Structure 1
Amino acid sequence: MKTSNPLTDRYRPLQSNLTDSPPLIIDTAANPQDILEGALQRIRASSDLLKTLHCICFKNGDVEDIPHITHALFLLTQDGCDLLQVAQQQMLNWKAPA
């Protein structure tokens, strides 16, 4: 039987962390509005970057820029998805007032 640990249950590491002791975490007890805002901010930034890439010409671009851009897109999108997952879990656990 799995026992509940309030510290590890409350603070969820971002999947984009690459270290054994993750420095970036989500406080699952934070205001749901703040969690959603954080998710929207990251997904919107990712979407804006993709829109910019769609509109520019790569003729004069440097091939070394591609991994930098894709890495930024990955971080923004993954962190946004992690935040959305926490917000979704909060909604599933939310009890409507009787």
Structure 2
Amino acid sequence: MNMPDPLTTRYRPLSSRYSETPVLVIDTEADPTEILDAARQRIRAASDLLETLYCLCFKKADTRDIPNIVNALYLLTQDGNDLLDTARRRLPKTPG
């Protein structure tokens, strides 16, 4: 009988990784409140960045900055989403 590897079940790699080797992981056994706080931090940072961009004048912006901004927003929102998914799995199941 194959037993699940506790390292791969406890530590979930972030979806935003660029290689097959996970470097940044989510501890799925961490307190769900702490996981939610980490998700909120990343989503808030992405939201603040979007708000800043909304207020800027793009006439003076360098087009080479756009991929950097998009990458930062992708990492923040994808990591936040992964954290939210993990926290959701930790919440008690409600009878339906």
The TM-score normalised by the length of structure 2 is: 0.91
Question: Measured at CA, do residues 5 and 77 of structure 1 come closer, stay the same or move farther in structure 2, by a change above 3 Å?
Answer: same
Question: What secondary structure does 2:60 align onto?
Answer: coil
What amino acid is aligned across from residue 85 of structure 2 in structure 1?
A: Q
What aligned pairs does 1:12-31 form with structure 2 within 5 A after superposition? 12-31=12-31
Q: How far is the alpha carbon of 1:82 from its aligned partner?
A: 0.2
> What is aligned with 2:66?
66
Please give the root-mean-square deviation of Cα atoms over the aligned residues, in Å: 1.7
Find the aligned partners of 1:59 and 1:95 in 2 and give their Cα distance. 51
> What is aligned with 2:76?
76
What amino acid is aligned across from residue 20 of structure 1 in structure 2?
A: E
What aligned pairs does 1:27-46 form with structure 2 within 5 A after superposition? 27-46=27-46
Q: How far is the alpha carbon of 1:58 from its aligned partner?
A: 0.5
Aligned sequence identity (%): 56
The TM-score normalised by the length of structure 1 is: 0.89
Deviations 1:17-64 (A, max 9, x none): 111111000000011111000000000000000011111110011000
> What is aligned with 1:56?
56
Find the aligned partners of 2:85 and 2:36 in 1 and give their Cα distance. 10
Question: What secondary structure does 1:59 align onto?
Answer: helix
